[in-house]
Structure 1
Amino acid sequence: MIVALGVIVAANFHTFTPIFAQGSTQLTVSAAASLTDVLKEIGPLYRRSRPNVNLRYNFASSGALQRQIENGAPVDVFISAAEKQMNALQQKGLLLPGTRRNLLTNRMVLIVPTNSSGITNLQSLKSGNVKRIAIGDPRSVPVGQYSEQVLRKQGLWELLKPKYVLANNVRQVLQFVESGNAQAGLVYITDAKTTSQVKVVQMIPANLHDPIVYPIAVIKTSRNPATARNFSQFLSGNAARKVFTRYGFGIA
């Protein structure tokens, strides 16, 4: 039986987080949860060049953000952790033509609490001593979809099903492992780097899952399309790239 604990943060999906109190133009950026720390650091860098822009971030799973946009949420820029969600929006004509491109790449890792021992790789998860494994919900969370691909290719998906603890986004997977509510979890290397409470025990081979690509696009209904384009381009500039690289992201 799969345990779904992700509902505890569902109410945060529609919460926009302002990072600057003043500005004549407001830009709402909906981004995958794995981008939380890096985009918060990049925000002030963009503010230096465009002090009149007030950035508001909305972080959640890419699937949840996709549904918000489909339901008419006021979003200017969308950054997904997988192509699937961006493809769905593009097929519905919700992206501003000519603004979609791939921004970043990432890698998956198997993590355990820092003081844990006994789990050294994916095959270790078969042990009877391992009771709870945190993964993103494959129905809506890209890291969960990648996790399912990995575990299926390793012949572990069905075997481990009774142990899964489903999370609403990759940061919740990380929290479950940090707190000890799960003995292991599958996250991006960039998430593992944000805390000293977990350790990486295996870098997942890239050939076990689809390429991890972060596409970015301006939403067709943006009220500030020119500013949205400008911010999107800024994220490909040298200043932003240096921050992305420091956090462990690859440049697409």
Structure 2
Amino acid sequence: MRRIKSSVFGMLALVVVAIFSLVGCGSEKQAPPAAQQAQVVEINVSAAASLKDALADIQKDYQAKNPNSKLVYNFGASGALQKQIEQGAPADVFISAAPKQMNELEAKNLMNKATRKNLVENKLVVVVPKETKLNITKFEDLTQDGVQKIALGETATVPAGQYAQEVLQKLGLWDKLKDRVVFAKDVRSVLAYTETGNVEAGIVYKTDAISSDKVKVAAVAPEGSHQPIVYPIAVATGTKQQKAAEAFVEYLFSADSKAIFEKYGFVMGN
């Protein structure tokens, strides 16, 4: 009898083990393999400070439509961003406010020439505090005695500052005004100086002027007084996210992105 009982208990034990094994197998089938779980791809975008508002809106749209992509922006003066990229800062996509910075990176084989396009265009304007009593309607009016300080972007690193200097030189005003110039680290800082009344006038992009309710446009740079203001875009040669970076660049030329850029005063590039 003892032998029969032990045999029966042994068989029952085997059945129980088999049942638990089957249950375990079933639970494994329900969990998707880790390899099949979608991974979020990070796209590092270095972009001119004047694009900040438009790209913030585009970020919301793009990530909603592409939940597996995460856009990480680095905004600043184009010259400063160029230096960062040269020094190895992470950048999958670069958008400059002028061709110069893109050209220099391309010459060092840091930008993929085949992916380069002109994204948007802009205009250069003089802005003044909204409540100013000064009568400024053209660039030449900046020479009047009431204008003691004029904010410009650093001409060594900020394209808006370079364009501004080009206009003032073209109009024969630079030597008269250079002692009144207050240099700022980027175009948004120029706007802030003007908004707070720390300067009587600033020279910024039209899109920056539109973004603020504390300033008004006093004058627009005459046609032909500076090089065309174009924003080239390209994928970095060192990117590890080639397909994702190219997909984002392509999206920036879509109808959805075009509507956002135009909302902020940009004109799409050719």
TM-score by length of 2: 0.84
> Could you say which residue in structure 2 is the equivalent of 1:203?
220
RMSD: 0.9
Q: Is the 8 A contact 1:29 1:76 kept in 2?
A: yes
> Could you say which residue in structure 2 is the equivalent of 1:14?
none
Structure 1: where are the runs of 5+ without partners?
1-22
Q: Is the 8 A contact 1:94 1:219 kept in 2?
A: yes
User: Which of structures 1 and 2 has the larger relative contact order (alpha carbons within 8 angstroms, sep 6+)?
Assistant: 1
Q: Could you tell me how far 1:49 is from its partner in structure 2?
A: 2.3
Q: Could you tell me how far 1:203 is from its partner in structure 2?
A: 1.5
The answer to whether the aligner puts 1:43 opposite 2:59 as a matched pair is yes
Q: Could you tell me how far 1:231 is from its partner in structure 2?
A: 0.2
Amino acid at match of 1:217: A
> Could you say which residue in structure 2 is the equivalent of 1:236?
253
Q: Distance in 2 between matches of 1:249 and 1:206?
A: 17
Q: Secondary structure at the match of 2:211?
A: coil
> Could you say which residue in structure 1 is the equivalent of 2:101?
85
Q: Distance in 2 between matches of 1:210 and 1:168?
A: 21
Q: Distance in 2 between matches of 1:97 and 1:182?
A: 40
Q: Secondary structure at the match of 2:80?
A: helix
Q: Secondary structure at the match of 2:227?
A: coil
Q: Secondary structure at the match of 2:82?
A: helix
Amino acid at match of 1:170: V
Q: Could you tell me how far 1:128 is from its partner in structure 2?
A: 1.7
What does residue range 67-82 of structure 1 map to in structure 2 within 5 Å? 67-82=83-98
Q: Secondary structure at the match of 1:207?
A: coil
> Could you say which residue in structure 2 is the equivalent of 1:220?
237
Q: Distance in 1 between matches of 2:199 and 2:64?
A: 41
Give 2:173's match in structure 1, choosing from 144, 148, 156. 156
Q: Secondary structure at the match of 1:63?
A: helix
Q: Distance in 2 between matches of 1:212 and 1:96?
A: 21
Identity of aligned residues (%): 46
What does residue range 94-243 of structure 1 map to in structure 2 within 5 Å? 94-118=110-134, 119-243=136-260
Q: Could you tell me how far 1:223 is from its partner in structure 2?
A: 1.5
TM-score by length of 1: 0.90
- CA offsets 1:121-180 (integer angstroms, 9 cap, x no match): 211111122110001111110000100110001111011011000011110000000011
> Could you say which residue in structure 1 is the equivalent of 2:68?
52
Structure with more of its chain in helix, by fraction:
2
Q: Is the 8 A contact 1:107 1:206 kept in 2?
A: no
Amino acid at match of 1:62: S
Q: Distance in 2 between matches of 1:198 and 1:246?
A: 18
Q: Could you tell me how far 1:120 is from its partner in structure 2?
A: 2.5
Amino acid at match of 2:88: G
> Could you say which residue in structure 1 is the equivalent of 2:12?
none
Structure 2: where are the runs of 5+ without partners?
1-38
Q: Distance in 2 between matches of 1:218 and 1:137?
A: 26
Q: Distance in 1 between matches of 2:51 and 2:169?
A: 27
Give 2:48's match in structure 1, choosing from 32, 57, 69. 32
